[in-house]
Amino acid sequence: MASENKAVKQLAEYEKNSFLPAWKPYEKGGVEPQPRDALDYLVAVLLAENSDVGAALSALRRLKAAFMDYNEVRAARWTEVARALAPLPAVEAVARQMVDMLFRLFDDCGAMSLRYLTLKNAAEAKQRLTKLEPALSKDAVQTLVSVLVPNAAPLLSPAALALAKKRGLLGANGNAAALRKLLTDAELPPEKCGELILCLELEASAPKSQATARKTAAPKKKK
């Protein structure tokens, strides 16, 4: 059906435009293992804490261009991580926070992945995520739970829900539960549904594009 096809097309568009950046081994045409892990979203939230999502995604691209994977980031000196993230604001504090979070994740599950939380119920997944990174907002925790816990209705932020309507994924009266049904009817696997939800949240949080900013900018005065 057309509506299901829109969900599939939107996900394909995100993947084509590399909305979630690839790691160093895959950035020049290699095939990155799919699906991408929801850990990308958690890290993007941390990077955006003292900035915005646009700057956070740029910093995430620099991080992935400098390291092979999150395990290498965890094992690196925080000063090396800070160099990769710069010029992100408060970059040294953010680098320390990220490395500490990755160590807590490794201690919790022995891997650099949040997929182990797919075996938990929603309440336990929330508890584990809050323990991993106490600074996470309730909205960020809810988004991650909606992606990781099977059959949980996606708890989209109002901005992401509005974006889903703008993209034609939902009607004017559509809600987060309707989006989950749409994705289920489209027969997208859970990990792909999760990736689409994460991208919607990230795009909805991002500032206006530079192109839009150029259109609205005041004209320069002639000398």
Q: What is the pLDDT, as a whole number, of residue 207?
A: 61
Q: What is the pLDDT, as a whole number, of residue 2?
A: 47
Q: What is the pLDDT, as a whole number, of residue 214?
A: 27
Q: What is the pLDDT, as a whole number, of residue 99?
A: 95
Chain position carrying tokens 């950035």: 27
Distance CA 132, CA 142 (A): 14
Q: What is the mean pLDDT of each run of 10 residues along the chain (223 residues)?
A: 64 69 62 64 84 83 90 94 94 94 94 88 91 85 80 74 88 82 76 78 65 36 45
What is the b/e burial string over 47-80, where b = at least 16 CB atoms within 10 angstroms of the residue's CB? bbbebebbbbbbbbbbbbebbeebeebbebebeb
Q: What is the pLDDT, as a whole number, of residue 1?
A: 45
Q: What is the pLDDT, as a whole number, of residue 27?
A: 53
pTM for the structure as a whole: 0.73
